Amino acid sequence: MLQQKHLLGLEGYPAEDIQTIIDTAFTFREVLDRPIKKVPSLQGKTIVNLFFENSTRTRISFELAQKRLSADTVNFSASTSSLKKGETFKDTAQNIEAMKIDAVVMRHPTPGAPLHLTQHINSIVINAGDGTHEHPTQAILDMTSLHEKFGYLKGLKVGIIGDISHSRVALSNIHGLKTMGAEITLCGPSTLIPPFAEDLGVSVNYNVDEVIEWADALNVLRIQRERMEGGLLPSVREYRNLFGITTERLSMHKKEIVIMHPGPMNRGVEIDSLVADSDQAIILDQVLNGVASRMAILYLLLGGKQEQENS
Amino acid sequence: MKTTKLKKQVVLKGGTILDPINETLKKGDVLIENGRMKSIGKVTPSKSADVIDCSGLIVTHGFCDIHVHFREPGREDKETLDSGSMAALAGGFTRVCVMPNTDPPLDSPESIRYTIDRGEECPIHIHPIGAITKSQDGKELTEMGAMLSEGAVAFSDDGLPVTDTGMMRNALEYSTMFDVPIINHAEDLCLKKDGVMHEGRISTQLGLPASPGITESNMVHRDLELTELTGARLHVPHVSSAKSTDYIRQMKKSNNKITAEVTPHHLFFTDDDLITYNTDLKVAPPIRTQADQKALIKGVKDGTFDCIATDHAPHTIEEKEGTFDLAPFGMIGLESCFGAVNRALVKENKLNIIRLIQMLAVNPRRIMGFETDLFTNGNSAELTIFDPNKKWTFKKSDIYSRSHNSPFIGEALIGRIRATIVKGHITVLV
């Protein structure tokens, strides 16, 4: 039902397929509101969650999505250091596939690792985040949430605030939103914006107030403390002053603006608690849409249609 | 590929003889007697002579690559002097200079002697380049004088830059006593950090840590300034960026002790080719943009670059099969060199074929102080015979190196080596 066998990233991903996933996600949202939140769509399918990097919310979200679709799931966590020492990535992948599975959901610290995986195994590969490259399912759930809130994506003005250079969420959002016709402005310290960002077809503005004035929605990214040690940022205080999404800052703008955050949040750093908990924040809707979007992706990629006929 | 001893008399019949010294290209025969050049022109072979039909082929000087990594001693699983020699012969190379970043590195007179002795057993001429600093750690100079006596031809810490500007000055100053080239792998590691490719549109799209062109050109500029200060001889290896090319061009105008090389891969590929995360294209310095590539080609045409060198760097399948961040830098390049540069420079950018052969055979020998006039009667025959127009696809089976990390596999090349003559033997490629 989707044109590509895998979901590796949103760069070049067809608009009609993104729309199909979003539409399907909305139908699964209804399932999640039922007393019995389970459908038999992927009964008999086996999915391995291959996490080479720590993750709580993405892994739980995927696992819930799989269980709600009645798929069999196996979780595998490995620190990359043990891989460096011994077994190669190829061996790990081929061993798991030899156990007869249908799909792999993988998170890996290296950009390109999911593409690499498709060269060694035949199963469907879904990228759950590859280093600083892409995190397509996060971008799809973000777009699902925006679509739910606004009813459209074309022409929507989205500001992405924070550490863009180290963010797979930003890159997937840029590709996905661009494809769907939205406008994007990146905003953050110049040391955390990739030097060639504008080549991706987005605007860059270092003045967060101007971005707030312009945008319909803000996607606020996490700022990691390691960035201070790397010499990219002077201090949390400086960041908050220049880019923090604070109540004071928002109150200066006489407009409604939707606030998103992919989590985990550093309350008091990139976003104020009061903002995160306010009505304009759709952060928890994003989490719920995460399960629904991942159900849609799994269902569409794993041939859910055929299973439905059987059930 | 088959290597046989040259018969007492060998006649290379009916080919086109390309003389890169006198810059001529004319039909003729070559007579080799007892492995030595006897005469060039019209040869009437004696009855016992071995006549090799060279019609449609070009006969010229054997190629010389002054920048290869043969991994011996230490990583014989990747390459040995013997397997590297086979790769060289397949590429038309009769002579190479091996870089000292072996394990242990070639940083003593003894290790230079070892390489010279081992090289004598090999079917091509092998010259060691000694390390600039002991253990290549940038702290203490090596015994350059003694290493030169044992047969070292130049000095380099290649693979790593000499980061400390004071140490680089010392190395250049010290080398002036011997008038030998100092070769510095120019990359500012503080700027490079964990960069694995060129910083640009493609690295942004791939999400890979990257380093900009000035990572190289900053250090190239420093080295050029130090060369002016010290009066030493500087050879700039594997130039990858437009800016480095400009600096070298500028400085060469007033300083004839500067030479520079460019690799086939920087001339052939651009960072767009990394879009599939092909680890065989992970190399240091990195493959840069189309604009950089154009600047390199311009540098070849206007003489900024003296020679082509492959930076042949073998790595195991296991290492290159890993993820992009963990894969080592480097690719092999001897076997694919001629077909790649002949296509990129002669066929696609109208470089005169004589100029190309000067860059592959004459200039590298001149930089290293080797005999350049190979057609002089009485010299030991060192010749390469090739088909300049043959279109072919480079395949894994064309590789003779012990490693297979070549991004040229599957690429359409133009021009193919047919035979290589060196050390009294002829190697014929099928």
Asked whether B423 and B125 are in contact (CB, 8 A), the reply is yes
Average pLDDT, chain B: 97
Q: What pTM value is reported for the model? A: 0.92
A113/B206 CB distance under 8 A: no
Q: How far is B394 from chain A (nearest CA, A)?
A: 21
Q: How far is A42 from chain B (nearest CA, A)?
A: 31
pLDDT in tens, B16-36: 999 999 999 999 999 999 999
What's the pLDDT band for A207 if we cut at 50, 70, 90?
very high
B183 dihedral zone (left: phi>0; alpha: psi -120 to 50; beta): beta
**Cβ-Cβ contacts under 8 Å, A176 against chain B:** none
Asked whether B207 and A130 are in contact (CB, 8 A), the reply is yes
| Amino acid type, B349 | N
ipTM above 0.85, yes or no: yes
Tokens of A80: 């990359």
For chain B, what percent of residues have pLDDT higher than 70? Answer: 100
pLDDT in tens, B316-370: 998 998 889 989 999 999 999 999 999 999 999 999 999 999 999 999 999 999 9
Radius of gyration (C-alpha) of chain A in whole angstroms: 19
Checking if the pLDDT of A102 tops 70, the result is: yes
B204/A200 CB distance under 8 A: yes
Whether the CB of B194 is below 8 Å from some CB of chain A: the reply is no
Residue that has been written with the tokens 């990583």 in this structure: B75
Q: What is the pLDDT of residue B50?
A: 96
Average pLDDT score over residue span B189-200: 96
**One-letter-per-residue 3-state SS of chain B:** CEEEECCCEEEEEEEEEEECCCCEEEEEEEEEECCEEEEEECCCCCCCCEEEECCCCEEEECEEEEEECCCCCCCCCCCCHHHHHHHHHHCCEEEEEECCCCCCCCCCHHHHHHHHHHHHCCCCEEEECECCEHHHCCCCECCHHHHHHHCCCCEECCCCCCCCHHHHHHHHHHHCCCCCEEECCCCCHHHHCCCCEECCHHHHHHCCCEECCHHHHHHHHHHHHHHHHHCCEEEECCCCCHHHHHHHHHHHCCCCCEEEEECHHHHHCCHHHHHHCCHHHCCCCCCCCHHHHHHHHHHHHCCCCCEECCCECCCCHHHHHCCCCCCCCCECCCCCHHHHHHHHHHHHHCCCHHHHHHHHHHHHHHHHCCCCCCCCCCCECCEEEEEEEEEEECCHHHCCCCCCCCCCCCCEEEEEEEEEEECCEEEECC
What's the pLDDT band for A79 if we cut at 50, 70, 90?
low
Checking if the pLDDT of A307 tops 50, the result is: no
CA A73/CA A70 separation, integer angstroms: 9
CA A90/CA A94 separation, integer angstroms: 6
Tokens of A173: 């959002």
Tokens of B85: 């020699």
Q: What is the pLDDT of residue B52?
A: 97
Whether the CB of B213 is below 8 Å from some CB of chain A: the reply is no
**Cβ-Cβ contacts under 8 Å, A108 against chain B:** 323
Residue that has been written with the tokens 């992919």 in this structure: A262
Nearest to B8 by CA among B326, B416, B381: B381
B201 to chain A: closest CA residue: A196
Q: How far is B206 from chain A (nearest CA, A)?
A: 6
Whether the CB of B195 is below 8 Å from some CB of chain A: the reply is no
A116 to chain B: closest CA residue: B323
What does each C-alpha distance from B256 to B103, B224, B231, B250, B367 come to in angstroms?
Answer: 34, 12, 10, 11, 11
B324/A112 CB distance under 8 A: yes
Long-range contacts of A231-237 (CB under 8 A, 24+ apart): A232/A189, A232/A191, A232/A192, A233/A189, A233/A191, A233/A192, A236/A269
Nearest to B103 by CA among B77, B66, B139: B77
Looking at A265-279, A297-311, B208-222, which range is the least confident one? A297-311
CA A253/CA A196 separation, integer angstroms: 30
What's the pLDDT band for A306 if we cut at 50, 70, 90?
very low
B205/A200 CB distance under 8 A: yes
Q: What is the pLDDT of residue A157?
A: 98
Average pLDDT, chain A: 92
Is B77 annotated in the active site? no
A181 dihedral zone (left: phi>0; alpha: psi -120 to 50; beta): left
pLDDT in tens, A23-52: 999 999 999 999 999 999 999 999 999 998
Q: What is the pLDDT of residue B384?
A: 98
To test the contact with chain B by mutation, choose from A80, A88, A92, A175 the residue with the greatest count of B C-beta atoms within 10 A, namely A88
Instruction: Give the nearest partner residue to A110 out of B200, B321, B325, using CB atoms.
Output: B325
Whether the CB of B256 is below 8 Å from some CB of chain A: the reply is no
- DSSP secondary-structure letter at A105? E
**Cβ-Cβ contacts under 8 Å, B208 against chain A:** 111-112, 132-133
B325/A195 CB distance under 8 A: no
N-to-C CA span, chain A:
19
CA A120/CA A109 separation, integer angstroms: 18
- DSSP secondary-structure letter at A53? S
Q: Specify the 3-state DSSP secondary structure of A57.
A: helix
Which residues are within 8 A (CB) of B44 and not within 5 positions of it... i.e. 6 or more apart?
none
Average pLDDT score over residue span B114-122: 98
Checking if the pLDDT of A309 tops 70, the result is: no
To test the contact with chain A by mutation, choose from B194, B198, B202, B206 the residue with the greatest count of A C-beta atoms within 10 A, namely B206
Checking if the pLDDT of B313 tops 60, the result is: yes
**Cβ-Cβ contacts under 8 Å, A89 against chain B:** 321-323
A196/B204 CB distance under 8 A: yes
To test the contact with chain B by mutation, choose from A116, A166, A198 the residue with the greatest count of B C-beta atoms within 10 A, namely A116
Looking at A50-59, A288-297, B94-103, which range is the least confident one? A50-59
Checking if the pLDDT of B430 tops 90, the result is: no
**Cβ-Cβ contacts under 8 Å, B277 against chain A:** 111-112, 115-116
Checking if the pLDDT of A81 tops 70, the result is: no
Checking if the pLDDT of A90 tops 90, the result is: no
What's the pLDDT band for A82 if we cut at 50, 70, 90?
low
Please name every residue paired with A124 in a beta bridge, in sequence order, or none if there are none. Answer: A103
What's the pLDDT band for A78 if we cut at 50, 70, 90?
confident
Asked whether B43 and B30 are in contact (CB, 8 A), the reply is yes
Whether the CB of B190 is below 8 Å from some CB of chain A: the reply is no
